[in-house]
Amino acid sequence: MNNTPLEVEIKFYLTDMPSFEKRVRSIGASLVRPRTREVNYRFDTPEMALAREHKVLRLRQDNSILLTYKGPSEIKDGVSVRPEVELEVNDFSAATNLLESLGFCMSLKYEKWRTIYQLGNLEIALDEMPYGNFTELEGDDTALIRKTASLLALDWSTGITDSYLLMFDRMKSSKKMNINDLTFEALRNTAVTPKELGVKPSDLPKYL
């Protein structure tokens, strides 16, 4: 898979999403997708073979339906880099039936609200997760990602290369919660601290 496209990204935990979004606009980023609910379904073998190999097979439903494969990630120059192949499909049920016919089963569901801005070749996503708010900077140029993080007054040393589901696992362990799906309903009325996620805020006043 030498020609497989690469996903190059880093996340930051936000304490003040509205103020951060104003900064995103102030540096000239253009809104390309307003706030949209995303529902993601992870598929794996009954033995969880993909998870053991740090691979992802995901079906995502928002304004479209995307089938995604991600290979194991590497950390390079402070960002997460991993192979990613995406295919748009037009029938969620048919895609699910195909995956199940190939021996995969749905292992978990997770959701978020996502707003997307574009700044040149860089995508800036604003993610509202059931356990907190984040921004995700994604592009093919690590230097540009670092420069943009600086423009947005984000503390690079607090950047996150972990997945949202790894943070979910940390939270469940910290809180001794026995839940499978990362949904707003599952975490309704549950306060979650950055420490319980294993992260630190990136937009504290001293960095602004």
Q: Which residues contact 91 (CB under 8 A, 6 or more apart)?
A: 65
Tell me if the pTM is above 0.75. yes
CATH number of 31's domain: 2.40.320.10
What is the helix (H) or strand (E) element at residue 132, kind and residue range? strand 132-138
Per-residue confidence band for 1, with pLDDT thresholds at 50, 70 and 90: very low
Per-residue pLDDT, averaged over 78-92, amounts to: 96
pLDDT at 156: 97
Domain of 51? 6-207
In a domain, 85, yes or no: yes
pLDDT at 3: 73
pLDDT at 16: 97
pLDDT at 204: 79
Per-residue confidence band for 2, with pLDDT thresholds at 50, 70 and 90: low
What is the helix (H) or strand (E) element at residue 102, kind and residue range? none
Is a pLDDT exceeding 60 seen at residue 88?
yes
Is a pLDDT exceeding 60 seen at residue 207?
no
In a domain, 1, yes or no: no
User: The tokens of 91 are what?
Assistant: 């029938």
Per-residue confidence band for 206, with pLDDT thresholds at 50, 70 and 90: low
In a domain, 187, yes or no: yes
Give the 3-state secondary structure of residue 193. Answer: coil
Tens of pLDDT, residues 100-149: 999 999 999 999 999 999 999 999 999 999 999 999 999 999 999 999 99
The CA distance from 134 to 11, in Å, is 7
Give the 3-state secondary structure of residue 146. Answer: helix
Q: How many domains does the chain have?
A: 1
Is a pLDDT exceeding 80 seen at residue 60?
yes
